């Protein structure tokens, strides 16, 4: 396992011919999911087929950030700007589609086969009779998962599966952001212990969206209230250089010593990138280690002026997306 380079929340679509079932799903699916419920396959297909174009535009927007970075523009302010300008549109893009196999109008597999160009994850709900079909569809790679409706603990199985699929990063995003990382940086993120530590940190901090970049090396993240934070990462070999810069910028000897020893980190590069005239601050650092590889890390909050803020936060997006109603 490696730490996802880009991850963000997305929508979940359920399609079933039974309105009662959909309404109950709406009741029990986690409240922080953007859930849409469809009774009619045609309506569902129509909605999902509108998405690839928006995906494309969004992916291109990210690619442009990289292109401008190659021309000399800093990454952090660009990403923050992208988030501010996008508002909440990206949260509405569907990442997982859960379809009942047996529906009167068309089978679930038929629906999924019509979704050419839509790249999200597909889950099939099955009954007793159609389990074989689901297995073969799974083996042929047509679906990511199938869940028998009669399985005990259906809610847990469904939420766990969909949650796991929501957390899976998009391949194209991975590729885009991989290009900002050096080989050494990427290797560090692929260390299982480091990846796990970062994953835990993301959970503890309540990050719902993050992007890993290489210059400067760190994770720019958003929590559900729309506040941004910066996790600065420094490989052990970089500490001396950082200490020298601190010394040249006039920090006292004790701080310079702390930086050199990895006890503290200073957000020099963040403040440089934001160019807001704020003085860099030293922060308590912690280490993330995996065997011989050691990463020093410190968490800095990004000022309110730069954060997307609550108005474009995921929490507000969910709160304003209204009741989970059947779409007809």
Partner 1 sequence: MRSARFHAWLAQRPLLQWLREELVLAPLEPILHPSPRRLWWLGLSFFSGNALFAWIWSTWLPQPYENLPLRVVASLLGYSLMTKRVNHDPGSRLTQRVFGLVFWLELPVMFSWMYLCNSGSTVWLATLAAMVLIYYHVTDWRLATLGTITGGLLAFGMFMAVGPAVPLLPPEQRTVHAVVFAFAWSIALVLNLSSANLRREQLSSTLTTIGIMAHELRTPLSTAALLGDAIQLEVQRQPDNPRAQQLDKLALRLHALVRNMNHQIDTQIANAKLLQLPRYTERVWASKVVQDVVVAYPYQSSRQRECVKVIIHDDFSFRSSATQFSQVLDNLIKNALHSLMAADSKYPPGALRIEVGHTQHRGRIIVADEGMGIDAALLPQIFKPFFSSNRGTGHGLGLAFCQQVVQSAGGNIQVKSEFAVGAVFTIELPIAPG
Q: Does 28 bind partner 1 (CB under 8 A)?
A: yes
Binding map of partner 1 across residues 242-261, x = CB under 8 A, - = no contact = --------------------
Binding piece for partner 1, criterion CB under 8 A, among 14-22, 45-53, 76-84, 220-228: 14-22
Region of 275 on the Ramachandran plot (φ > 0 left; ψ -120 to 50 alpha; else beta):
left
Task: Name the nearest CA neighbour of 317 among 220, 230, 208.
Answer: 208
Angle in degrees, 0-180, between the axes of helices 51-70 and 75-86, rounded to the nearest 10: 160
Binding piece for partner 1, criterion CB under 8 A, among 151-159, 220-228, 247-255, 311-319: 151-159
Q: Could you give the CA distance from residue 26 to residue 24 in angstroms, rounded to a whole number? A: 5
Q: Does 102 bind partner 1 (CB under 8 A)?
A: yes
Nearer to partner 1, 128 or 183 (CB): 128
Question: 3-state SS string over 199-228?
Answer: HHHHHHHCEEEEEEEECCEEEEEEECCCCE
Region of 194 on the Ramachandran plot (φ > 0 left; ψ -120 to 50 alpha; else beta):
alpha
| 154, 215, 236, 293: residue in contact with partner 1 (rule CB under 8 A) | 154
Q: Does 25 bind partner 1 (CB under 8 A)?
A: yes
| The two structure tokens encoding residue 168 | 């899976």
**Residue with structure tokens 């995003």?**
173
Binding piece for partner 1, criterion CB under 8 A, among 106-114, 146-154, 214-222, 315-323: 146-154
Shortest separation between residue 53's beta carbon and partner 1, angstroms: 34
* Helix, strand, coil shares, percent, the chain, to 5: 45, 25, 30
Q: Does 16 bind partner 1 (CB under 8 A)?
A: yes
Centre a 10 Å sphere on the Cβ of residue 17 and count the other Cβ atoms it contains: 16
| 104, 141, 152, 277: residue in contact with partner 1 (rule CB under 8 A) | 152
Q: Does 18 bind partner 1 (CB under 8 A)?
A: yes
Residues numbered 118-137 forming contacts with partner 1, rule: CB under 8 A: 127-129
Residues numbered 44-83 forming contacts with partner 1, rule: CB under 8 A: none
Shortest separation between residue 19's beta carbon and partner 1, angstroms: 10
Binding piece for partner 1, criterion CB under 8 A, among 24-32, 89-97, 238-246, 315-323: 24-32
Residues 6 or more apart whose Cβ sits within 8 Å of residue 242: 234, 259, 260, 265, 266, 268
Measured in whole angstroms, how far is the alpha carbon of residue 309 from the centre of its chain? 17
Residue 323 is given by DSSP the state: S
Q: Does 150 bind partner 1 (CB under 8 A)?
A: yes
Q: Does 100 bind partner 1 (CB under 8 A)?
A: yes
Residues engaged in binding partner 1 (CB under 8 A):
16, 18, 20-21, 24-25, 27-28, 100, 102, 127-129, 149-150, 152, 154-155
């Amino acid at each position: 396992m490696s730490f996802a380079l880009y991850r963000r929340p997305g929508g979940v679509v359920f399609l079933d011919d039974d309105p009662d079932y959909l309404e109950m799903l709406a009741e029990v699916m986690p409240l922080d999911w953007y859930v849409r419920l469809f009774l009619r396959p045609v309506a569902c297909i129509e909605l999902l087929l509108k998405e690839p174009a928006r995906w494309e535009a969004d992916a291109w927007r990210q690619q442009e950030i990289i292109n401008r970075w190659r021309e000399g523009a800093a990454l952090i302010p660009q990403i923050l700007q992208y988030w501010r300008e996008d508002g909440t549109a990206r949260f509405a893009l569907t990442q997982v589609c859960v379809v009942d196999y047996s529906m009167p109008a068309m089978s679930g597999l038929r629906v999924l086969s019509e979704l050419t160009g839509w790249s999200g994850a597909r889950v099939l709900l099955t009954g007793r009779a159609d389990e074989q079909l689901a297995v073969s569809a799974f083996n042929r790679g047509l679906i990511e998962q199938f869940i028998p409706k009669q399985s005990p603990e259906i809610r847990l199985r469904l939420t766990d599966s969909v949650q796991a699929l929501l957390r899976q990063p998009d391949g194209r995003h991975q590729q885009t952001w991989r290009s900002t990382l050096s080989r050494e940086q990427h290797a560090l993120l692929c260390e299982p212990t480091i990846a796990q530590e970062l994953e835990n940190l993301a959970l503890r901090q309540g990050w719902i969206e993050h992007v890993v970049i290489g210059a400067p090396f760190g994770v720019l993240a958003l929590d559900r209230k729309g506040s941004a934070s910066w996790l600065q990462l420094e490989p052990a070999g970089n500490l001396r250089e950082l200490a020298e810069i601190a010394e040249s910028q006039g920090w006292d000897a004790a701080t310079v010593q702390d930086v050199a020893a990895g006890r503290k980190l200073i957000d020099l590069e963040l403040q440089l990138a934001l160019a807001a005239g704020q003085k860099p601050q030293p922060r308590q650092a912690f280490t993330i280690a995996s065997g011989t590889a050691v990463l020093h890390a410190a968490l800095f909050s990004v000022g309110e002026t730069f954060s997307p803020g609550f108005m474009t936060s995921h929490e507000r997006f969910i709160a304003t997306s209204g009741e989970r109603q059947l779409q007809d």
